[in-house]
Amino acid sequence: MFAMSITQKLSTLRLPPLPTIGEIIKLYKLKAEKQLSQNFLLDLRLTDKIVRRAGNLKDAYVCEVGPGPGGITRSLINAGVADLLVVEKDTRFIPGLMMLNEASMGKVRIVHGDILTYKMDRAFPGHLKKQWEDDVPNVHIIGNLPFNVSTPLIIKWLEHVANRSGPFVYGRTQMTLTFQKEVAERMTASTGGRQRSRLSIMCQYLCNVKNCFTIPGSAFVPKPEVDVGVVQFTPLIQPQIEQPFKLVEKVVRSVFQFRGKYCHHGVANLFPEEHRLKLTEKLLMLADVDPTRRPYELSMSHFRDLCNVYRQLCDQDPNLFSYNFREELRLKKLHRISHKTS
């Protein structure tokens, strides 16, 4: 016990101290990169708090996305991870990350690349793979990314959850990520809530989503305009909607197109103009959804029923799924223009 705590202390001490804010600004020319939304967390108590919320990471295999100057990276090393894969797009941070790798005796694997295209299905040893129905695997994803990357990335990873691909070939890999506070609230909003939106359904039909805590914008350097929410995602063994991701995405997007209006307005966009009225009525009736409910008042089981019935309609008409309301509008507009000019 005594020997272990000495070893832990030594490995903590071996890490070079985090540079001061002034040093960071000088080293990484922070001001110059503000347009890239690089907001750093330099307070080790906060980075430790994020890492603690990810669970017990002793001997864990972790992918950190966007490590930047390495605040969270240090907390992860101090938590005793076995293997830390960091994916960073910006070259300027690679030397600092190499320094952390040396200090942690080779625990940090650095990928200089873009997380939006990086393939994670072979990133960790195969023996870590668990069955989907088993406990969560000892593989974690963690990160504080710019908001313009974290939202498209979570949509991409949700699709991977649905298909059990990418980071989810290891099983129900947990993710602990930061988002703009309002986005974090949308992800976790319940039926009828002010923030209930497309993201609420997309996240919650596949994952148990927890809004862990909020970090004030003032804790970041430079300070962003907004506060930040730390959100944890644990994939569900049984998704709440059992239809292909793209189909769920299409239905949910259409329904929320007019968030404040009765839901039949959005549902109607799923169907070509000539059959719109009839099919909208049919879908809402078979799914037992009141057309005068607002989208944010619909529960997960309403969305499940809407997706299941829409699937039946698509099976009856193979052209239906490829119908795109926006495309129809675009063609109409083109037609009008060519009519005017001829």
Ligand X SMILES: C[S@@+](CC[C@H](N)C(=O)[O-])C[C@H]1O[C@@H](n2cnc3c(N)ncnc32)[C@H](O)[C@@H]1O
Binding segment for ligand X (CB under 6 A), chosen from 62-70, 101-109, 274-282, 320-328, is 62-70
Which CB, 107 or 250, lies closer to ligand X? Answer: 107
**Which residue lies nearer to ligand X by CB, 116 or 337?**
116
Residue 59's φ and ψ, nearest 5 degrees, are: 65, 20
Can residue 40 be called a binding residue for ligand X (CB under 6 A)? yes
Of the ranges 39-47, 236-244, 260-268, 272-280, which one interacts with ligand X (CB under 6 A)? 39-47
Cβ atoms of residues 155 and 201 within 8 Å? no
Which residue stretches of the chain are H helix? 2-14, 21-28, 44-53, 71-78, 94-103, 147-163, 181-188, 198-204, 245-255, 263-268, 276-286, 300-316, 325-341
Residues flagged as binding site for S-adenosyl-L-methionine: 39, 41, 66, 88, 114, 144
- The single-letter code of the amino acid at 208 is N
One residue of 6, 105, 116, 331 binding ligand X per CB under 6 A: 116
Q: Could you give the string, one character per residue 9-38, with x where binding to ligand X holds by CB under 6 A and - elsewhere? A: -----------------------------x
| Number of neighbouring beta carbons within 10 Å of residue 256 | 21
What are the residues whose beta carbons fall under 8 Å from the beta carbon of 226, sequence distance 6 or more? Answer: 147, 180, 181, 182, 217
The nearest distance, CB 268 to ligand X, in angstroms, is 37
- Distance between alpha carbon 219 and the CA centroid of its chain, in Å? 22
Binding residue for ligand X, selected from 43, 55, 80, 90, defined by CB under 6 A? 90
CA atoms of 197 and 68, how far apart (whole Å): 31
- The single residue among 79, 84, 139, 149 that binds ligand X, judged by CB under 6 A, is 149
Residue selected from 62, 77, 79, 115 as contacting ligand X according to rule CB under 6 A: 115
As measured in angstroms, the least distance from the Cβ of 188 to ligand X is 21
By the rule CB under 6 A, 187 interacts with ligand X: no
Sheet containing 174-180: give its strands across. Answer: 108-112, 83-88, 61-65, 139-143, 174-180, 228-235, 207-215
Q: How far is the CB of 9 from ligand X (least distance, A)?
A: 25
CB closer to ligand X out of 68 and 171: 68
Instruction: For residue 271, state whether it binds ligand X (rule: CB under 6 A).
Output: no
Count other Cβ atoms within 10 Å, centred on residue 143.
23
Residue 26 CA to chain centroid, in angstroms?
Answer: 32
* 3-class state of residue 291 by DSSP: coil
Q: Is 169 in the site for ligand X (CB under 6 A)?
A: no
State yes or no: cis peptide before 19, omega within 30 of 0: no
> Per CB under 6 A, does 183 bind ligand X?
no
150 contributes a contact to ligand X by CB under 6 A: no
Could you tell me which residues are annotated as the binding site? Answer: 39, 41, 66, 88, 114, 144
Name 310's Cβ contacts closer than 8 Å, sequence gap at least 6.
247, 251, 270, 283
**72 lies in the site for ligand X, by CB under 6 A:** yes
Any contact of residue 114 with ligand X (CB under 6 A)? yes
Compute how many other C-beta atoms are within 10 angstroms of the C-beta atom of residue 14: 12
Smallest distance, ligand X to C-beta of residue 285, A: 45
> Between 86 and 314, whose beta carbon lies closer to ligand X?
86
Q: Does 89 bind ligand X (CB under 6 A)?
A: yes
Residues at the contact surface with ligand X, assessed by CB under 6 A? 38-41, 65-69, 71-72, 87-90, 93, 114-116, 144-146, 149
